[in-house]
Amino acid sequence: MSEVKPDIKIFVSHRIDQDSETIDNPLFVNVRCGAVYDTRENVSMLGDDTGDNISEKRESFCELTVQYWAWKNVKADYYGLFHYRRYLNFSKFNFLEDEYGSVIEEYINLNTANIYNLQENRMRSLITKYDIIVSKRRDVSKFPEKFKSIREHWNASKDLHKADLEIMLQVIAHMYPEYYTSAIEYLNGVESYFCAMHIMKRDLFYNYCEWLYPILFKLEKEIDISTYTVEGQRTVGHLAERLLGIFIYHIKINNPCIKIKELQTVLFTKPEKKVQYLIPAHDDTNKNIIPIVFASNNAFAPVCSVAIQSIIQNSNADNYYDIIILESDITDYNKKMTLSLVKGRENFSIRFFHASDLIRNYNLVANEHITVETYYRFLIQDILPHYEKVLYLDGDLVCNRDVAELYSIDISGYMLAAAHDPDLVGQLNLPNSDGVRYLIRELKLDNPYDYFQAGVLLLNVKEMRKAYSLQQWLTFASKRYKYSDQDVLNRYCKGRVKYLNMAWNMLIDCDNYRVPVIIKSATGALYREYQEARKNPYIIHFAGHQKPWKQRGVDFEHEFWKYARNTPYYEQFLLNIFSSVYNQTGHPSIGVKGAVKIYIRKKADIFFPIGTKRRRIVKRIFRPLLRRFK
């Protein structure tokens, strides 16, 4: 007969106002803390509001309502309590801790679960060797504040009250006098068990709960929290952390043979459940649905809002615009400001998709010209599985035409549609340029002059899925290319690109140099197409180092401001411009630095032509010096 395995249940306390990731492990029992207050529908996770429970005490007892529910309603051989964002490290390795003794990790996923060995077999083999497993003691004297005792640590909190710790001691002295000396010694010491996380054998767990909860109920009556802060109203829960330490300290003194194992605490800073994909935001068959994707970070959110505003001002009521922003760190404030753009507009939706976790295992290189968000465009085919065609736009552009016209272009059989890149093609024809050689050797292009600009892409995601998986795209992008993701798309979409009218992606001039020197060096056909696009650009792309939200005198800057003034960031943009034009003395900030920078650039173009190998070498050597003139 096979050996009967002990029944181990570790109850993981979850918030009702946040969907957090869970770990696929039969030892973990996920329970909603304060479920009696949960107003959501169709929630499948267990709640602490059935049977004998104190779910209504969530605000003061915190995760101890889950522990109480487990004690009163579930039978097991081992009981444990973890938090939705805190687990113990069951691996054989000790990891670097922060100054307060926690191992800091961002995401809960299969990879991190493996790193910390949060798997049934490893956990079971360790748990059954001990009577108690608890979070590792932390020495408060080694905290940055260098507290002299656990008591001093409590007293230093702005939300917790010195008198409440004394009330706890009085309650212990009255109810369990045999614990009083242990309580005093523990609080006067420097080693504390935080977070109330533990795993105990059944008898110990029952003893612990039978001792703990009468104390907590008494404290609830003795302590008036009516004038406390929100955090202060969790005083009972904070005291419970100290009580766990007192309980273990007392047991160790009175039962030296008890087997206790301490493990590191792992704090996951981003435990929120990751949405794997999005469904269309609208299902009205009477409207044309236009999915539009941007990629942005928090710093770029204001600029991206101008692009969105330009789409709004040129939209058509017969269309529904499903805007998705792939992001990594946009704050709630900037999300709120962006969402305000479409408030009251029934044919618009803006959604945010946290995408950074999907690329974290790939070596995607950012530099001073691009951020890692530029690679998010490769995620579109998986994030939007219900769309066959998606419009991707860079955030540094404005649309002067309804993008529904662009979306309506038939790209059947193609992987994408994009406009030629007149800047890159112009560089190919400059003296001593090695660009043609690079595009043929590295990108395997049959015709280097067909290179396209990737700031405006009409993606046939159905065909892109057929051609390459997301993992393949990200592996391709992990290789170092001169123009990063744009080179990847040019290489692997070769021969399956439909070329757009350049008016759909009209690059601005920079320093009165890009157009007369570089683009004019492109093929005659491309130069003429570019000149026509400038007369009536559908999309104006502020690609390059000159940006209208940073400085004056930028090509087509009036088109940017036409839309920027209708965003919540208008005053912020004005302040940025004012700061860039005038320094603290009230003089134009371009001054000598700006003049020197322009002079150096013009001389460099003569002796080190754009696109040549020697120019790239010189840039690597002198870029640190040139930064002084920024």
Q: What is the largest CA-CA distance in the chain?
A: 95
Answer whether 0.85 is exceeded by the pTM: no
* CA proximity to 574, closest of 544, 552, 541: 552
CATH topology of domain 288-581: Spore Coat Polysaccharide Biosynthesis Protein SpsA; Chain A (3.90.550)
The per-residue pLDDT for 428 is: 94
Six token digits for residue 81? 């309590």
- pLDDT per residue as tens digits for the range 4-47: 899 999 999 999 999 999 999 999 999 999 999 999 998 999 99
CA atoms of 496 and 484, how far apart (whole Å): 19
Banded model confidence at residue 371, pLDDT cuts 50, 70, 90: confident
- Residues in the chain, overall count: 630
pLDDT greater than 60 at residue 150: yes
- pLDDT per residue as tens digits for the range 79-133: 999 999 999 999 999 999 999 999 999 889 998 999 999 999 999 999 999 999 9
Amino acid at 409: I
Name 618's Cβ contacts closer than 8 Å, sequence gap at least 6.
604, 608
CA atoms of 252 and 260, how far apart (whole Å): 9
The per-residue pLDDT for 127 is: 98
CA atoms of 124 and 120, how far apart (whole Å): 6
- pLDDT per residue as tens digits for the range 340-349: 999 999 999 9
- What are residue 380's phi and psi, to 5 degrees? -55, -40
Can you give the residue ranges of every domain in the chain? 8-270, 288-581, 582-630
- What are residue 149's phi and psi, to 5 degrees? -165, 165
**DSSP secondary structure, 470-494, as one string:** HHHHHHHHTS--TTHHHHHHHHHTT
* CA proximity to 611, closest of 444, 426, 361: 426
Q: Which of 315-319, 359-363, 394-398, 532-536 has the least mean pLDDT?
A: 359-363
CA atoms of 232 and 84, how far apart (whole Å): 21
- pLDDT per residue as tens digits for the range 163-203: 999 999 999 999 999 999 999 999 999 999 999 999 999 99
The per-residue pLDDT for 449 is: 96
* Cβ atoms of residues 454 and 487 within 8 Å: no
